[in-house]
Chains A and B, each alone.
Chain A
């Protein structure tokens, strides 16, 4: 017990050290670059010319890699006002995140509704399993973004196209895992259900579903991971709202500190989603 605790403490300490080292390198690297970027080396004529062109060299420069201090300011300004809305191109990061999560939830939810029942049927029917296998094998490796033009053409709505892309990318891991989990349910449990004359629906819900639940949850967890990867790229393409669009927009503004902040947010939210599914998975796992 004490050894495990000791390990935990030591690992935590090491993580902290690594973080400090990264921040230290960042600080050192940006401090020297920031000093050279001032207007010190310019003649008065050049400064005047620059001012006439609308660029003030004495003003604080917004471009270039942000220093640690600028980064801190950005983080603070976002976290203190996450839900402001100043029109289409200036919304709080909370609102952007809510848009992305909403799309993922919709696309992922639809995929669940299709993949789990279909996976059940495929898992129970060797005929369907074989018949559908070539389609699944061909469709599965397609990059979700490759569907975007077709989606935009047929659906004619960028938001719905984004949801469709999430749907199509989350469906495969869930479908394959559900089918596998259902097909691998132990024969003896099915025999028990048979000798007890359990109805097909009750058998599906009370025997096969709990037996296959850990495998199904694994599929859902993988799908959610992919969906969160894809939403950022999809939103960069379709634009409008969402954390992916926010990244693209801040890139166009050349505001790297905002981009870095958004990247961190994407990472943290992805981790939280994975943690949530990990919890769910643990809840349905049984020891045989």
Chain B
């Protein structure tokens, strides 16, 4: 079955393994520690009514995880906590078994609204990131690296243009190239394609998938688009909103973890012909419609 609810319960109780033990036991038992471990995360703006609580999950190396949920369920807050831009009111985040504090170059972020600096060209925008990661590099070294990642997203002809001269899709590609260029241990994407039209979105989804498969990048991505999640994700976290029930207030959180059963070599064009696609899609849509409790 592709509904893996046991992962949730198991994680809540598992304490993070301390780093020294890891190296000692690495030879004997192949204990696979996750890259990222999120434990009982919660965020409350009003003291007794947390937006979400008890959010626990893990991310393995090379895994692509999507989060789906209605707006207001705290998806972006979780991503911002993982990015180090926001703080949770409860819980912990461990990266490679070390508690995470503040933003870091180890986690690249692709922002919802591309967040390119409009006074810099594409080249300069990416160079800004590369220089932050490797301040000691020579100009030629930085430039070569920048050009490599611009080529990766197919924007070499536009490399010396300002963002205002680019289309929405091209801007978002630059944002992706910038995030990849610092070669982070993991990538956080906050609805990167939300503002794009359907055609452009499809193309960039393919590109992103290609780059992620090639670089074995670990990705955590927020989306509203069920098909996007099915196409890209190895696992999909379904989040519910906080709501008043007969038993009192129930905070939002991860209601279910869905493991994508479709073969990893899927493409956007053939996705809907794959066995199990409609079951998976219906399951997620049912969840969003009936159980996630939109506001």
Contacts and interface: CB of A to CB of B under 8 A. Distances in A.
B182 A192 contact: no
Given A188-B115, A210-B117, A286-B119, A196 B182 contact: yes
A-side interface size class: 10 to 19
Given A195-B109, A287-B162, A207 B84 contact: no
Interface string A189-201: 1011011111000
A191 B112 CA distance: 12
Given A189-B115, A211-B119, A287-B162, A195 B85 contact: yes
Interface in B79-98: 83-85
A288 interface: yes
B192 to A, nearest CB: 13
B167 interface: no
A206 interface: yes
| Majority-rule SS of B interface residues | loop
Interface in B98-114: 103-105, 107-109, 111, 113
Given A286-B162, A286-B164, A287-B118, A197 B103 contact: yes
Which of B85, B113, B117 has the most chain A CB atoms inside 10 A of its CB?
B117
Interface in A173-189: 186, 188-189
Contacts, number: 56
Contacts of B105: 195-197
A191 B118 contact: no
B277 interface: no
A192 B104 contact: no
A37 B103 CA distance: 84
| Majority-rule SS of A interface residues | helix
Contacts of A207: 117
B176 interface: no
B13 to A, nearest CB: 32
Interface string B127-148: 0110011000000000000000
Contacts of B103: 194-195, 197
B162 A192 contact: no
Contacts of B111: 188, 191-192
Nearest to A214: B119
Contact of B117 (A194, A211, A287): A211
Closest 8 CB pairs of A and B: A287-B164, A196-B132, A188-B115, A286-B119, A286-B118, A194-B103, A195-B103, A210-B119
Interface of A: 186, 188-189, 191-192, 194-198, 206-207, 210-211, 213, 284, 286-288
Given A191-B83, A191-B85, 18 more contacts: A188-B115, A189-B115, A192-B109, A192-B111, A192-B115, A192-B117, A194-B103, A195-B105, A196-B133, A197-B104, A197-B132, A206-B128, A207-B117, A210-B117, A211-B117, A286-B162, A286-B164, A288-B118
Interface of B: 83-85, 103-105, 107-109, 111, 113, 115, 117-120, 128-129, 132-133, 162, 164, 182
18 contacts: A186-B115, A188-B115, A189-B117, A191-B83, A192-B111, A192-B115, A194-B85, A195-B103, A195-B107, A195-B108, A195-B109, A196-B105, A196-B132, A196-B182, A197-B104, A210-B119, A213-B119, A286-B118
